[in-house]
Structure 1
């Protein structure tokens, strides 16, 4: 079970470290081609989402790795489920029906949360 957690959580963490890091360092103009929703919110909110994503990715990996507060891994995974439900809502509100990635991330984060229960 722990091996499955590391595999799934590692992939999820890689996705969010990259996605969050991009939101933290790129300008609105450089984000727009891959994230049309950035025009609908202040850049501070985009940066905040990026920070949450990077911190959540660390929350998936560091607590089980160090043995310190391993319940944070479950919290981080559940946080990603909530984040993607909100992201799906933003996409649908903007008329963007391309939500397959969001739904896939919800499923992966939910599996990660289920596997994270093993760390408790």
Structure 2
């Protein structure tokens, strides 16, 4: 169980890192021209970069507390925050009719739920 949680957490952290870095460092116009990034066309640049910063924080929050043994409860808390983020992403992509991306977001949400459940229950990280 612990190994499955670590693998899942690592995968989700990579997703958060790539998504956050792209929102922080890729120009809005280029993001808006990519598949799945159409929502950025009508978003404020500060919202996009703020979301990118939150995703980067999520990547670190999923891994560092457990690795450093400092406030390991932050791992499932971060996973639950990711659930909220994915609900927003599903609503956004749903409004644009991007059902395939809603499915991708649902998969990320499921990974986060698994991490939160596992780290709060059967394989909790002792502090």
For the aligned pair, the TM-score class normalised by the smaller chain equals over 0.9
Partner Cα distance (1:77, 1:4) in 2? 15
Unpaired segments ≥5 residues, structure 1:
none
Between the aligned partners of 2:94 and 2:4, the Cα distance in structure 1 is 32
RMSD of the alignment, in Å? 1.2
Matched, 1:115 2:121: no
Aligned counterpart, 2:30: 30
**Unmatched segments (≥5 aa) in structure 2:** none
Q: TM-score scaled to structure 1, two decimals?
A: 0.93
Give deviations 1:76-100, integer Å, cap 9, x for gaps: 0001111000111112223333311
Determine which of 42, 45, 51 is the counterpart of 2:44.
42
Residue 68 of structure 2 aligns with which residue?
66
Q: Which runs of 4+ in 1 moved over 3 A?
A: none
Q: C-alpha separation between the residues in 1 aligned to 2:42 and 2:19?
A: 18
Number of aligned residue pairs: give it.
120
Report the CA distance between 1:40 and its aligned residue. Answer: 2.3
Q: TM-score, normalised by structure 2?
A: 0.89
